[in-house]
Structure 1
Amino acid sequence: MLSATLGLIGAIVYGGADFLGGLASRRLGAVRVTALSAVSGLALIAVALPLIGGTFSAEAVRLGILSGVTGAIALSLLYGCLAIGPMSILSPLTAVVSALVPLTVGLAGGERLSLVGWIAIGIALVAVVLVGFVPEKGAARPRLLGLAMAVGAGAMIGLFLVIIDRTPDDSGLVPLLLNRATSAAIMVTAAAVLVVVTQLRGPRSPDAAAADGHGPAVLPAWAERAVLLAIACGAVDAVANVLLLLALRAGELTVVSVLTALYPAGTVILAAVLLRERVAPVQVVGLVLAFVAAGMLALA
């Protein structure tokens, strides 16, 4: 029950981080926001490590670095496929694959579910598709490249879950510290390269720079709020990672992975409450099914 509860809360918190990151990306671009959030998340984990504790070991360090690499690849593929679109198909496809990969690994590793658990997993997967569905008028059929990137992003997210699940029980937050350090190094380097490339191309308008997801080379005054949003995104995402870690150590990979794939629920809820965005009826159904599935998995 604790594992399912932590998994669902973690998914909603992940969605909150995506919400903050999405707002910040409108001004700064996805790469800069990802770099800033990685650094702020690293700072939070570094502060929390002495309080929560954790033992450094070769296994914890290795898996932490590996999870950081998979996370950076996952984000790159995710942003890339969503830019290609249509989001209405590629977003839920990514979420479903991110659940199926660790689900398969968990079952292959000997984890077992009751009949109620299997029914709940089925309901949760349906909920993942419905919640992640983004209504688009006249959406075109997805290109093969977009589909491949969506599957790749989902697979990398799923692999991240598998890696974190296999970290030593006594490692505490050590794997997350290495994860964040690795992601920060990769994304900060990527952001720096983009700045150099942008400067070599010559001056560009903020709107043109934002259109390709890179954001302006020099941040104007209005970008200060976006920077704060990006920093908050990293802190919230770090909290979600801690919840995920606790959920995995308290329960089964199969259950936690499916619940974590419900992360779009947090984004949808916050967008509806704070931005007054309309929630499609299909997404409402998905939200209801998500909580039903979480309750069933807690009981199972």
Structure 2
Amino acid sequence: MVTLLALGAALSYGVADFLGGAVSRRSTALRALLWCVPTGLAFVVIATLLTGGSPTTSSMAWGFGAGLAGGTGLITFYRALAQGPMSVVAPVSALTSSLLPVGAGLLRGERLDTTVLLGVLLCLVAIGLVSMEENGEERRTAHGPIMAGVSGACFGVFFILLKEAGDGSGLWPLVGARAGNLLIIVVAFAVLSRLRPDTGSKVSGRLLIALALISGVLDAGANALYFLAVQDGMLSLAAVLTSLYPAITVLMARIAYSERLRAVQRIGLAIAAAGVALVTVG
């Protein structure tokens, strides 16, 4: 069950990131997030009320802290996606975000079976291979990978804190997390608006707004799937499998933007499939 939930989160994150990145390229990261995050918050609130559970101070606090880290990660991640290419930004962020939870899981005393451990290691290698870029691309997007690394560190903290938030209070920690997301993004937009009145093009047009709303719902859905996975299993396993989302973003970018998939990236995707298979068997 943990494997299915985490892979479902990876799929949802991957599609959400692609759509959010598409909106960012036509507007700005913050303006895109001002559509995505409130939509995600509304989705989570509805899901939480339908599934039951009662909020506790501890769970909401952990969730809110996770949301602040995640919101910071979203801002830097969407800025990186706007600079592109998606096939570089998403994997760099994912690799960083997976390493922190793995380290935290080991410190917590988590021990994986040999087969599962091998699968996790293959997934980490796969994320690294998919993130390799050509020198020409590196020069063209010098700041993209740096921001992607920063966003990955924030997402790693998000994964860790969300693990701590689970205490039988249902999905309420996710409400706290999305509230934290919204707060950090609104504050960032307000500060940016004061420093620079021209905050970029608005998100306009039915298609662009629809993409932003869908991205928000999918991102919130991915949060929920990861939260359920990490409460049902080990942090290191759930975080690594969830961090395979770049495979989806890369493939969608390949189709939509004709971003070339290099041979090493194809190998990375194949290794990712092998890693998931080993985790599933184990």
TM-score range, shorter chain: 0.7 to 0.9
Offset of residue 60 of structure 1: 0.8
For the pair 1:168 / 2:166, whether they are aligned, the reply is yes
Q: Please give the residue correspondences for 1:1-300 in structure 2 after superposition, counting only pairs within 5 Å.
A: 2-79=1-78, 91-135=90-134, 137=136, 139-140=138-139, 149-199=147-197, 214-216=199-201, 223-274=205-256, 277-300=259-282
Shift of 1:163: 0.8
Q: Which amino acid aligns with 1:40?
A: T
Corresponding letter in the other structure for 2:279:
L
Output the amino acid matched with 1:265: A
Say if 1:125 and 1:258, in contact at 8 Å, map to a contact too. yes
Q: Structure 1, residues 186-223: CA drift from partner, whole Å, max 9, x if none?
A: 21333344445443x6xxxxxxxxxxxx422x56xx54
Question: What is the identity percentage for the equivalent residue pairs of Structure 1 and Structure 2?
Answer: 36
The 2-side partners of 1:100 and 1:265 are apart by 17
| Aligned residues of 1:24 and 1:230 also touching (Cα < 8 A) | yes
Task: Count residues in correspondence.
Answer: 282
Instruction: Give the distance between the partners of 2:105 and 2:72, measured in 1 at CA.
Output: 22
For 1:191, the aligned partner's letter is F
Task: Identify if the C-alpha distance between structure 1 residues 6 and 174 changes in structure 2 by more than 3 Å, giving closer, same or farther.
Answer: same
Say which SS state the counterpart of residue 154 (structure 2) adopts.
helix
CA shift for structure 1 position 128: 0.7
- Residues of 2 paired with 1:229 and 1:89: CA distance? 22
How far residue 288 of structure 1 moved from its aligned partner, in angstroms, is: 1.9
Give the structure-1-normalised TM-score: 0.83
- Partner of 1:166, secondary structure, is helix
Say if 1:28 and 1:223, in contact at 8 Å, map to a contact too: no
Q: Deviations over 1:67-106 (max 9, x none)?
A: 1111112223434566788987765443222111110111
Shift of 1:37: 0.6
Bigger Rg over Cα? 1
Q: Structure 2 CA distance, aligned partners of 1:269 and 1:152?
A: 23
Please, what TM-score do these two structures have when normalized by structure 2? 0.88
Q: Give the C-alpha shift of residue 114 in structure 1.
A: 1.8
Greater Cα shift, 127-136 or 28-37: 127-136
Q: Which runs of 5 or more structure 2 residues have no equivalent in the other structure?
A: none
**Contact 2:24/2:82 (CA < 8 Å) preserved in 1?**
no
Classify 1:134/1:46 alpha carbon distance in 2 versus 1 (closer, same or farther; 3 Å): farther
For residues 236-284 of structure 1, the C-alpha deviation after alignment (integer angstroms, 9 at most, x for no partner) is 1011111101111221111111112211111122234455554333222
Residues 265 and 24 of structure 1: is their aligned pair in 2 closer, same or farther, counting only changes over 3 Å? same
What is the CA–CA distance in structure 2 between the aligned matches of 1:82 and 1:20, rounded to whole Å? Answer: 10
Instruction: Compute the RMSD of aligned alpha carbons.
Output: 2.8
Q: After superposition, what is the alpha-carbon deviation per residue over 1:28-76, rounded to whole angstroms, capped at 9, x for unaligned?
A: 2111111211100001111111111222111111011101111112223
Q: Is the contact between residue 24 and residue 79 of structure 2 (CA under 8 Å) also seen in structure 1?
A: no
Name the CA distance, whole Å, in 2 between partners of 1:87 and 1:24. 13
Contact 1:27 1:215 in 2 (8 A): no
Instruction: Tell me the amino acid that sits aligned with residue 180 of structure 2.
Output: T
How far did 1:13 drift?
A: 1.1
1:25–1:226 CA contact under 8 A, matched in 2? no
Per the TM alignment, residue 185 of structure 1 is displaced from its structure 2 partner at its CA by: 2.3
**For residue 115 of structure 2, what is the amino acid of its counterpart?**
V
Give the distance between the partners of 2:4 and 2:12, measured in 1 at CA: 12
Q: What is the CA–CA distance in structure 2 between the aligned matches of 1:198 and 1:66, rounded to whole Å? A: 28
